[in-house]
Amino acid sequence: MVALARKTLIYEWRRFLPAILAVGFAGLLQLLQAALVLGIFGSASVYITGSSADLWAGYPGTQSVNLGRSIDAGVEMRLRMDPAVTAVEPFHWVDADWRGPSDTGGVSVFVSGINARPDGMLFAHALSPALRARLNEPDAVIVDRADLDSLGVGIGDSAVINGHRVRVVGVSNGLRALGGVNVVASLATAAELDTDPSNASRMTYFVAKLRDPAEADDVAARLRGNRAFGSYDVWTAESFARRSQLYWMFDTGAGAGVLFLAGVVFLVGAVITSQTLVAAVIGSVREYATLNALGVGVGALRKVVMEQAFWVGALGLLGSTVLGGIALALARSRSVPVALGPWTTVACLALCMGLAIVSGLAAMRSLRRADPATLLR
Amino acid sequence: MSSISLQARNVTKSFTSGPIHNTVLHNLTLDMRAGELTLISGPSGCGKSTLLAILSGLQRPDAGQVLALGQDLAELNTHALERFRLQHTGFVFQGFNLFPALNALEQVELPLSYLGLAPGEARRRAVASLEEVGLGPRMGLRPSELSGGEKQRVAIARALAKEPDLLFADEPTSALDAANGQIIIDILHRIARTHGTTVLCVSHDPRLVGHADRVLAMEDGRILSDRVPSPTSTPTSGLEEPSA
């Protein structure tokens, strides 16, 4: 079989280049957009994804982790009573006002009061044991390296949170948050910073580790709804993280924006690609008509056009994968929040292959002009 | 005399363009024999290309019947007609219509692969027909590297490799100089003789008349003359024989 589609694509690559670029850039845009959105909104749940806890107990109906209200400290006992639970830890959340040594004005910060022991669950993935141990010093806090500028401090500098003096003892990566700056402190320091008297003997969250994390759904169902310890609810880390991300994505309207942009990118890509493929078909229409005169069926000719569309899509996607990989690596090295899972990648690439296929279908229509009778003049 | 392979019976065709109704073929009846090169000549607009399109099954007549190899083409639907063309007919057009990306050998192999031939057999046939038109040494070249005459010979080889019973050529020499035109018509003539193919050639090129086995002169949708040319004859129209 003579590979007409591929040979034409290679020989007349200039003709097909706009389509390949259109698919490639559409793919690149979809990938980067998805990575940025997932990265930015993924940071809404950095407290959950950066921690090793399996279950989260908090105020009922909490839509996002940063919106927690305090629950009764007795919930800790309720969690410990369950035989599947191996460890429980409190998480003290304080919305606070930061004043740095340099002139940065007031900065809204989220203080996370955590257990500073080496086996602590909270921020287990974001803080090394050595860094975590430094939180045991009185009034010690840790911030993300990327937030140093906006906080106006360096390591070792002092600042004031809610009128209380603190000292930056270290920096970490992966603590960036949405809507404010994360400041990590020990539970004792956080308690000092919390100026709300109604929070005494109450805690924002309790997190628990399970003997078998696979049982998280069952244990969460078993633990929730017990009114003896006041109002509280229990979620698995996974569902609470997803809920927090979705809250930010849709509360800010970014989700709709992303879908709208994806649609625009698809449309623009499809218009360019289909026009290029149509031009390629029309450029060869007399040759196609000759083949049809010689008895090669219209179905076989359509297959040639679709094969070209497929190769245009494949080459475009190859380009967008390579460029996307480079762009993501660059973003990571600059602490730009990007996150891209395999399924999202596959979905973005499939969307662009769909774009190429739709364009091929559109170009196939112009094969109608390949009427061999028109060759007889 | 060899058998009749292609017949037109009372074929009529007209085109309507806006308010103008134009009858291109008037009740034409015609027989063609295998192993002969039949030339249809006449001024442009006389309906000779339309006649070729109808006889080859590329267009359907308004009235009348076309029998090709004993098959009534009106009985075939579009798909069956494509199948019939694939198996039995070859075409050579004025424009060479070669794919720029393919070399001569691939141009000829391409339609063969749709015939269901094994790759080895398709290759063998393609090489043989390129050698038959004298392009054996140049079969690796693309159209951009071939002269006009060579391109037309590739187009002929492409039609010939299918081993068609019917070969239709529409103005095959009008884009070529005298020497190349001569080569092309000689090849077409030789194909008719050696393969027993029915070759129907439409042309207004007077140089071809001396090479045809039979010349039909057309004007205004009618056949004016049907004669066997002498090698020295000129294309002046005559009425030696009434139209069939």
For β-strands A205-210 and B37-41, DSSP reports them as unpaired
- Chain A residues close to B170, C-beta within 8 Å: 375-377
For β-strands A140-144 and A164-172, DSSP reports them as parallel
pLDDT at residue number A66: 87
How close, in Å, is residue A270 to chain B by CA atoms? 26
Q: Which residue has the tokens 């992966």?
A: A174
Instruction: Kindly write down the DSSP assignment for every residue of A250-311, as one continuous string.
Output: HHTTHHHHHHHHHHHHHHHHHHHHHHHHHHHHHHTHHHHHHHHHTT--HHHHHHHHHHHHHH
- Chain B residues close to A10, C-beta within 8 Å: 101
- Give the integer Cα–Cα distance in Å for B60 and B78: 11
How close, in Å, is residue A373 to chain B by CA atoms? 6
Ranges in chain A, pLDDT < 70: 377
How close, in Å, is residue B1 to chain A by CA atoms? 28
Total Cβ atoms within 10 A of residue B50 = 23
Mutation target to probe the A interface, by most A beta carbons within 10 A, among B81, B85, B129 is: B85
More reliable by pLDDT, B56 or A102: B56
Q: From residue A19, how far is each of A247, A308, A310, A353, A362 by CA, in Å? A: 38, 11, 11, 12, 13
- Give the integer Cα–Cα distance in Å for B142 and B146: 7
Task: Give residue B155's identity as a one-letter amino acid code.
Answer: A
Supply φ then ψ for residue A33, to 5 degrees. -60, -45
A49 vs B: CB within 8 A: no
Q: Partners of A207 in the beta sheet? A: A56, A89
For range B99-112, the mean pLDDT: 94
3-state secondary structure of B135: coil
Q: From residue A164, how far is each of A27, A171, A189, B34, B164 by CA, in Å? A: 50, 20, 10, 108, 97
With an 8 Å Cβ cutoff, are A7 and B101 in contact? yes
- Give the integer Cα–Cα distance in Å for B112 and B87: 10
- Chain B residues close to A373, C-beta within 8 Å: 53, 58-59
- Tens of pLDDT, residue by residue over A227-245, are 777 889 999 999 999 999 8
How close, in Å, is residue B119 to chain A by CA atoms? 7
Residue B242 scores a pLDDT above 60: no
Q: Which residues contact B58 (CB under 8 A, 6 or more apart)?
A: A293, A372, A373, A376
How close, in Å, is residue B167 to chain A by CA atoms? 10
Task: Give residue A243's identity as a one-letter amino acid code.
Answer: R
Please, are residues B97 and B133 in contact by the beta-carbon 8 Å criterion?
Answer: no
How close, in Å, is residue A23 to chain B by CA atoms? 23
A106 vs B: CB within 8 A: no
For range B184-202, the mean pLDDT: 93
Mutation target to probe the A interface, by most A beta carbons within 10 A, among B15, B114, B154 is: B114
Q: From residue A58, how far is each of A26, A205, A215, A235, A240 by CA, in Å? A: 42, 5, 19, 8, 10
Total Cβ atoms within 10 A of residue A87 = 18
pLDDT at residue number B53: 93
With an 8 Å Cβ cutoff, are B49 and A376 in contact? yes
- Chain A residues close to B155, C-beta within 8 Å: 290
Closest CA to A31 of A269, A312, A307: A269
The structure tokens listed for A212 are 């078998």
With an 8 Å Cβ cutoff, are B86 and A294 in contact? yes
Find residues 265-294 of chain A whose CB sits inside 8 Å of chain B. 284, 286-287, 289-294
With an 8 Å Cβ cutoff, are A294 and B56 in contact? no
pLDDT at residue number A228: 77
pLDDT at residue number A254: 78
pLDDT at residue number B234: 46
- Give the integer Cα–Cα distance in Å for A297 and A130: 73
- Give the integer Cα–Cα distance in Å for A71 and A203: 6
pLDDT at residue number B33: 92
With an 8 Å Cβ cutoff, are B101 and A287 in contact? no
Q: How far is residue B99 CA from its own chain's centroid?
A: 20
The structure tokens listed for B156 are 């002929």
B208 vs A: CB within 8 A: no
- Tens of pLDDT, residue by residue over B194-223, are 999 999 999 988 888 888 999 999 999 999
Q: Which of A2, A11, A12 sits opposite B109 (nearest CB)?
A: A2
Mutation target to probe the B interface, by most B beta carbons within 10 A, among A8, A13, A288, A290 is: A290
Geometric angle at alpha carbon A368, from A362 and A372, rounded to 5°: 150
Q: How far is residue A249 CA from its own chain's centroid?
A: 10
The structure tokens listed for A131 are 């860094």
Mutation target to probe the B interface, by most B beta carbons within 10 A, among A4, A284, A287 is: A287
How close, in Å, is residue B203 to chain A by CA atoms? 11
- Chain A residues close to B159, C-beta within 8 Å: 294
Residue B241 scores a pLDDT above 60: no
Residue B155 scores a pLDDT above 60: yes
pLDDT at residue number A7: 94
Closest CA to A144 of A115, A174, A164: A174
Q: Which residues contact B130 (CB under 8 A, 6 or more apart)?
A: B104, B105, B108, B136, B139, B154, B157
pLDDT at residue number A288: 93
Q: Which of A292, A294, A297 sits opposite B159 (nearest CB)?
A: A294
Minimum CA–CA partner of B106 in chain A: A2
Geometric angle at alpha carbon A304, from A2 and B86, rounded to 5°: 65
Q: Which residues contact A280 (CB under 8 A, 6 or more apart)?
A: A8, A12, A15, A16, A19, A308, A363
Cα distance from N-terminal residue to C-terminal residue, chain A = 31
A308 vs B: CB within 8 A: no
Closest CA to B180 of B205, B159, B210, B149: B149
Please, are residues A100 and A153 in contact by the beta-carbon 8 Å criterion?
Answer: yes
pLDDT at residue number B204: 86
B76 vs A: CB within 8 A: no
pLDDT at residue number B1: 53
How close, in Å, is residue A7 to chain B by CA atoms? 6
Find residues 103-162 of chain B whose CB sits inside 8 Å of chain A. 106, 109-111, 113-114, 119, 142, 155, 158-159, 162
